[in-house]
Structure 1
Amino acid sequence: MSTSLLRVGILGASDAVPAIYLPILHTLQKQYHLTIIYDPNSHHAEACKAKFNITQTTTDIQEILHHPDVDLILNLLPTEYHEKYTVAALEAGKHVMVEVPLCMSIQGLRRIRDAIKKGQAVRAHRAGDGDGDIINKPKVFMGCVRRYAPVVEDVFQKELASLGRVYYARCRNIAGPIHNVAGMLNGTTSADDTNGTSTHSAAEFHAILSEIFGFPEDLTPDRVAFCRWLGTMGCHDLSLMRETLGFPNAVSSVSITDPFYSAIFHYTGTKHDDHPFTLLYEAGVDAVPRCDAHLTVYGERKSVSLQYDFPCPGESIGEGRMVRVVVEEGVDGDGAEAVNGNGCGVSNGNTSNGVARSRVKKTETVSSCEEAYTHEFMALHAYLVDNVPAKTSADDGLQDLKMLCMIFEHYDRQCGTIRTPLG
């Protein structure tokens, strides 16, 4: 394997692949070479090949998994195929990048870890190197682009550290238009729709959920819909929450009114402060073409909001999408602002009753979505080539799974479906 240029095989050519992933990878030609792309619809794969100078296309996944000139496989297939083809790629001795969640169950994570061990032996034998050659050992990297936006580490994390006591937090992700997102939530790519394989995709997803919940009768439409959301867009929210605020201590409420979902998380504090607070998570899909998504944390004198406007499926990465950190801070007034009869500040700058009001100082820092994806792929390259630790490794994925289990377990209690030895 090259020590600098990673040769890439791509699984999937759905709308997001030519709109987001391939344009970014095409700008990183010193780090990545696009060797081969798979899609069950050959027309979609050929269109990607022609536009982004990909060497080869295939409609056979096995051809990518065992391609001698592929070092890294990007598993961009729907959630139900994350574990299946990540395991297959690892056992074939390939590195894998797969979008969060890595898988949907603890059992699935164990199978992925077993595949990493098997893949080490396969790769070492094929390359003829000793076990000590770290580069030849397959690794897993989870894609969660929100966590790699420059403003997250450079601004948001630092502002949280200076916030003091956290009183409340809110995470929202309401996306649209519904016709763009519906295919993703149903587990279908454009190729799935063309080839009539969406029924097979749904069956794969139900099989995964059966392993999680254990009883077929527990796979209610609401539960399936919520899991589909968590397995696509929702886990990106949870992973960001966990990195910035830490792991929650409990869940007290889950509401499912498909296609809208909410949950209340309880924290005993953050790594910067030990006061308890709650976080409201609200998410869903409607027909309005916008991305209403943010993580906002409220302190006594300051609120910090991370607002992310990533493209909807099919939208180009270069359409002015941004990630913003907005800080609103109370600043002591100097008597220049009066209070009206409703207790609100008067904007004319006069002090009619002699009561000074604090004013709000608002600052905004911006990163582009292109920067976020570029930082993510540079972190992936450093992880695989230079052995620089990655914050979205398979071990990190375990924490996402624990968070999913916490949600599922509370929903069981809330619905009265926990089974005891008495039934």
Structure 2
Amino acid sequence: MSTPVLRVGILGATEVLEHTFFPTLNSLPLFETTIIHAYNDHAVAVRSQQQFSIPYTTTSTDEVLHHPEVDLVLNFFPFESHEKYTIAALEAGKHVMVEAPLSLGIHGLRRIRTASKKASSPHSKSTPKIFVGCVRRYAPSYTDVFKKELASLGRIYYARCRNISGSLAHPAAREEVAINAIARGHGGDENEKVSGNGTKKAAAGLHLDGLGKDMQMHALMADIFSSTDDITPDREAFCRFLGTLGCHDLSLMREALGFPDAVANVSITDPFYSAIFHYTNPSKDALVVHGDGHPFTVMYETGVDAVPRSDAHLTVYGANKTVSLQYEMPVATHTLCKAGCVRVVVEEAGDIVQNGDGPAEGTATGVKRMEYTSLFADAYEKELLALHAYLVDGVEAKTSDGDAMMDLQMLRMIFDHYDRQCGTIRTPLG
């Protein structure tokens, strides 16, 4: 029996996706792209149509959502539009893959999950599902090597999660600059539809114009902070970062180490952000489970500047071994396309002459260093294979809407401390 092919409609295509995600999607026979909608740059859709032999392009979101030859909608819109278009796709009877975060607001996430349950009811003709994209969590170096090395680390003494990247080196950061400019009133609207033969006509249905984006972001901020009174530029900038780059860092950190006991501090100097997390020992849902009850601290530091490099990693320190998961982000522009990679670096102490009780009270005779590397293209492929298995074969996906709720609980810990900190000391938070 042949394997079912999922027919794909793409919402919000961008230049970076054109050079990174789409080639992998097009290479897998399990998927067939039917129609593509670009985000504020229809030239991206036209180029992708020509390169990947996509039958239709459009500037109408409605045409993608209700296309009869679409089984799966890939929602690549900015995070403030995730709720609107995910619910619309579910109501149209389509499966949805949406990039993390599914939502930054608890009420928004509940509305999405309610729509999913309603669409999957016995009275519906199909059972559409939600899959949340977080490609770092599917990288073979992470799933096959980092997990194993972390499980054998022993007691954790310290961990650091860092993602400091130049806008040139980090495609998501570069797109976030453009998205923020659009959100401040420089974006176009969707007033035309372009079919496969290039014919243009007025579009009906859902629109993502400048005013609509402003309203969506305003509603999301009110959901996050339960009020519109405290929505400052710093708060909005922080939320925008967590809604783009930051949520991917924290989602992977949460899978690897579990939930923290507390957030000790949050610092914002836009566009740089940091937080300190306190752990006792990894919780039962983490990769590492120890019964020693020893505390450790995780430093989260992140930001975007203009220096073209990517310093992104999750590093965990034990007594005699350090395990680091390092990301070299893919770069993709009209003139440059560089494949990114995910590298695991393991450093172990050699023979140790112990002369004390602590981890540093000894002398190592040498350091063993091992490296394992996989490409981001491999991570995209693993993610898409998991997506197909989830939608077609019913194989449980680790990045489901239920998992997204766990990510949001982690973000809520940050926001809650954020509010307490603002109320007691004077900080850049407001």
TM-score category of the 2 structures, normalised to the smaller one? 0.7 to 0.9
The equivalent of 2:35 in structure 1 is 36
| Cα distance change on mapping 1:189 and 1:220 into 2, 3 Å | closer
Whether the 8 Å contact between 1:185 and 1:229 is mirrored in structure 2 is no
Whether the 8 Å contact between 1:4 and 1:31 is mirrored in structure 2 is yes
1:36-68 Cα shifts (integer Å, max 9, x gaps) = 011354333222211111111111111111111
Q: Which runs of 5+ in 1 are unaligned?
A: 126-135, 335-354, 419-423
Distance in 2, Cα, partners of 1:194 & 1:407: 31
Equivalent in 130, 133, 152 of residue 142 of structure 2: 152
- Residue 216 of structure 1 and its aligned partner are, at CA, apart by 2.1
Q: Which runs of 5+ in 2 are unaligned?
A: 190-208, 283-287, 354-361, 426-430
Equivalent in 264, 276, 289 of residue 295 of structure 2: 276
Equivalent in 195, 217, 222 of residue 188 of structure 2: 195
RMSD of aligned Cα (Å): 2.6
Distance in 1, Cα, partners of 2:332 & 2:176: 8
Distance in 2, Cα, partners of 1:257 & 1:297: 26
Amino acid at match of 2:367: V
Matched residue count: 386
TM-score, normalised relative to structure 1: 0.85
The equivalent of 1:212 in structure 2 is 224
- Residue 16 of structure 1 and its aligned partner are, at CA, apart by 2.0
Distance in 2, Cα, partners of 1:188 & 1:198: 11
Distance in 2, Cα, partners of 1:302 & 1:38: 47
Whether the 8 Å contact between 2:331 and 2:337 is mirrored in structure 1 is no
The equivalent of 1:388 in structure 2 is 395
- Residue 185 of structure 1 and its aligned partner are, at CA, apart by 5.0
The equivalent of 1:369 in structure 2 is 376
Distance in 2, Cα, partners of 1:155 & 1:390: 20
Equivalent in 152, 155, 158 of residue 168 of structure 1: 158
1:339-367 Cα shifts (integer Å, max 9, x gaps) = xxxxxxxxxxxxxxxx9742111100111
The equivalent of 1:352 in structure 2 is none
Distance in 2, Cα, partners of 1:388 & 1:121: 19
| Cα distance change on mapping 1:185 and 1:239 into 2, 3 Å | farther
Deviates more, 1:210-219 or 1:77-86: 210-219
Whether the 8 Å contact between 2:327 and 2:341 is mirrored in structure 1 is yes
Distance in 2, Cα, partners of 1:206 & 1:307: 35
| Cα distance change on mapping 1:9 and 1:356 into 2, 3 Å | closer
SS at match of 1:272: coil
Distance in 2, Cα, partners of 1:306 & 1:384: 29
Deviates more, 1:33-42 or 1:100-109: 33-42
Name the % identity.
56
Q: Are residues 1:310 and 2:335 paired?
A: no
- Residue 272 of structure 1 and its aligned partner are, at CA, apart by 2.1
TM-score, normalised relative to structure 2: 0.84
- Residue 202 of structure 1 and its aligned partner are, at CA, apart by 3.7
SS at match of 1:152: helix
Amino acid at match of 1:160: L
- Residue 204 of structure 1 and its aligned partner are, at CA, apart by 2.0
SS at match of 1:389: coil
Q: Are residues 1:296 and 2:315 paired?
A: yes
Distance in 2, Cα, partners of 1:203 & 1:114: 22
| Cα distance change on mapping 1:262 and 1:146 into 2, 3 Å | same
| Cα distance change on mapping 1:78 and 1:361 into 2, 3 Å | same
Q: Are residues 1:140 and 2:130 paired?
A: yes
Amino acid at match of 1:64: V
The equivalent of 1:410 in structure 2 is 417
Distance in 1, Cα, partners of 2:181 & 2:14: 5
The equivalent of 1:341 in structure 2 is none
| Cα distance change on mapping 1:313 and 1:260 into 2, 3 Å | farther
1:106-145 Cα shifts (integer Å, max 9, x gaps) = 11111111111222259843xxxxxxxxxx3111001001
- Residue 195 of structure 1 and its aligned partner are, at CA, apart by 2.0
Distance in 2, Cα, partners of 1:316 & 1:236: 27
The equivalent of 1:91 in structure 2 is 91
The equivalent of 2:248 in structure 1 is 236
Deviates more, 1:405-414 or 1:305-314: 305-314
Q: Please show how residues 18-167 of structure 1 align to structure 2 within 5 Å.
A: 18-28=18-28, 30-39=29-38, 40-121=40-121, 124-125=124-125, 136-167=126-157
Distance in 2, Cα, partners of 1:259 & 1:106: 25
1:182-235 Cα shifts (integer Å, max 9, x gaps) = 541563599995627456424421221112212223111111111100000000
Deviates more, 1:226-235 or 1:194-203: 194-203
Equivalent in 282, 287, 293 of residue 306 of structure 2: 287
